[in-house]
Amino acid sequence: MFNDKLRVCWRLFRKDLVIEARRGELLAMIVIATIGLSVILSYGAWLAGLSENQRILLAPALSLSVLLITALSVIGKFSEYDEQSGALEGLLMADVPSEALYLSRVAAIWVITFVAALVASLILPTLLGLPQVAALFTVSGIACVAGISLGLASTGALLASVTARVRVGGIFLLTLVLPLIIPLFFAGCEVLSGQESGHDFWWTVIWGLDAIYLAAGLWLHPYVLVNRTALPL
Amino acid sequence: MRESTAKNDPPLLALTDVSVSVNGNKLFENVSFDLRPGTFTLLQGSNGVGKTTLLRAMAGVHRSFRGTIAPLSSSIRIALVSSACSFMYEDLSLRENLAIITDSLSSSSSISIDNDLLSHALVAQPLNTLSSGERSIAAFLRALAVNPDVILLDEITSPLDEARRGAVLARTRMLVSKGCAALLVSHDTLDNEKFDARLTLQRSGTKEGFASV
């Protein structure tokens, strides 16, 4: 039974990636948004005349900002496509388990946000004149971004199911996701800041929130799927 | 008034006093009928009366209605096939769509059996490259793949040529002969086709919301 659900989950995840590979819409949006934001933010840093030390301190927060904003801009796209094509209804009529639908979507968003993180980690330090700073390429940096991306994906996959049918769904989704993600953002900045004190606490915040969001998503997703049609469009 | 299809087995799907409103406008009210195993029912009605909405409600896709739509058990599989919506990912082929919901697709019997409906080449092409008729056939084949107990066909025959329409109806009858209940919504004149019941959905405000022809 568990293996069956995992197999379905894998097939759904692969489907999301295949569709994205054919459409290329999300990847293009992510790359363009990441480059654009990196240019704007690093220009601001140069304009402020920050010293190299200040730019080093600022780099993690800017990287995570780019990750957050680009991820939020694409996080609802999978669900919108599901709803517009009617394919989600088809999956529900075929008794595809809700857990598989949710977890596969979390995995797909996780991969996509990781691409955003990768692009940001290559571009932003270079634009800030800090090519030696590649915070995301350390074990701790990768784990931190993975944790934040997981939180984004867990909340995004659930809440995008709520908002995908709503006319102003994009804004609605941002309003719902942002308050949940901001604590992760602060914790990520603390972890990536390079200061050793208090690291354990912030790691606990990141992975603890991830666990809560994922558990809540798994629990609530079946109700969301059944009741989402009752929302005013 | 309850319309019942011919066979005496307990209904696979029973509708009792079902009423649907969309944006405050009543489409129909107090619709009651049963779909029993091994029966093929034709549902007709004028445009906008709510046939599609009724089918979506029966399939569990449209949940805003009054009354009850009761399947015989929770394990009853209901498949909705619509010419307007394939319920599949249009960027994927039928084969890829089926691979999501079924195991070992390459040896899937439902595809090879119905090769007369859709060629192997078209089965492997993304749905958004197919014609509307071919997409309807693909949607029908997808429904067959889930081995439905109840199959609801919404205008599925409209975009089809005569040969394919006949093939779809024949394939549906084959399902019915195995105990499936089928409901076809169509504006086509199907005088030569034999159905266990012919029903007409009427607009709201009529005294009898639902009546047989």
Nearest to A93 among B59, B63, B97 (CB): B59
Distance from the B193 Cα atom to the nearest Cα atom in chain A, whole angstroms: 28
Helices (H), chain A: 2-23, 25-47, 52-74, 77-85, 87-93, 98-127, 139-163, 169-192, 199-227
Contact B51, B203 (CB under 8 A): no
Higher pLDDT, B180 or B106: B180
B92-131 residues touching A, CB cutoff 8 A: 92, 96-97, 99-101, 103, 126
B169 has pLDDT over 70: yes
Residues of chain B contacting residue A86, judged by C-beta atoms under 8 Å apart: 85-88
Number of CB pairs, chain A paired with chain B, less than 8 A apart: 64
A191: left (phi over 0), alpha (psi -120 to 50) or beta: alpha
Q: How many CA atoms lie within 13 A of B146 on its CB side?
A: 26
Residue B71 pLDDT exceeds 80: yes
Q: How far apart are CA A119 and CA A113, in angstroms?
A: 10
Q: What is the mean pLDDT of chain A?
A: 86
**Chain segment A148-194, per-residue pLDDT in tens:** 999 999 999 999 988 887 777 778 888 899 999 999 999 998 888 76
Instruction: Select the residue from B62, B66, B91, B106 to test the A interface by mutation, using most A Cβ atoms within 10 A.
Output: B91
pLDDT (mean) for B33-60:
89
Question: Taking 70 as the threshold, does the pLDDT of residue A196 lie above it?
Answer: no
Backbone angles phi, psi at B181, to 5 degrees: -105, 130
> Which string of DSSP letters, residue by residue, matches B53-82?
HHHHHHTTS----EEEEEESSTT--EEEEE
**DSSP strands (E only) in chain B:** 2-4, 13-22, 25-35, 40-44, 66-71, 78-82, 150-154, 181-185, 197-201, 210-212
What would the mean pLDDT of B114-135 be, rounded to a whole number? 82
Structure-model confidence comparison of residues A197 and B124, the more confident one: B124
- The tens digit of pLDDT for each residue in A85-117 reads 889 888 888 888 899 999 999 999 999 888 878
Return d(Cα B119, Cα B111) in angstroms, integer. 9
Answer whether B158's CB lies under 8 Å from B43's CB: no
SS3 B200: strand
Q: Which residues does chain B have within 8 Å of residue A19's beta carbon, measured at their own beta carbons?
A: 89, 91-92
Contact assignment for A19 to B88 by CB distance below 8 Å:
no
Burial degree of A204 (CB within 10 A; 0-12, 13-18, 19+): exposed
Tell if the CB–CB gap between B103 and A7 is shorter than 8 Å. yes
Reduced to 3 states (helix: H, G, I; strand: E, B; else coil), residue B42 is: strand
Contact A11 B99 (CB under 8 A): yes
Nearest-CA residue of chain A relative to B97? Answer: A15
Instruction: For residues A44-68, give the mean pLDDT.
Output: 86
Please give the single-letter amino acid code of residue B46. Answer: S
Strand, helix or coil for residue B83: coil
What value does the mean pLDDT of chain B take? 81
- Mean local confidence (pLDDT), A24-33: 87
Distance, C-alpha B210 to centroid of its chain: 18
Position B136 pLDDT exceeds 70: yes
Kindly identify which residue of chain A lies nearest to residue B59, measuring between CA atoms.
Answer: A93
Residue numbers in B near A97 (CB within 8 A): none
Check residue B208 and give its pLDDT: 40
Check if the beta carbon of residue A177 is closer than 8 Å to that of residue A155. Answer: yes
Contacts of A221 (CB under 8 A, 6+ apart): A98, A99, A101, A102, A157, A158, A161
Q: Which of B52, B101, B110, B153 to mutate to test the interface with A (most CBs of A within 10 A)?
A: B101
Residue A137, pLDDT score? 65
What is the distance in angstroms between the Cα of B177 and the nearest Cα belonging to chain A? 22
CB B174 within 8 A of CB B180: no
Residue B167: its H or E element: helix B162-177
A-chain CB neighbours of B92 within 8 Å are: 15, 18-19
Most B CBs within 10 A among A7, A77, A83, A85, hence the mutation to make, goes to A85
Best-predicted range by mean pLDDT (A62-66, A139-143, A211-215): A211-215
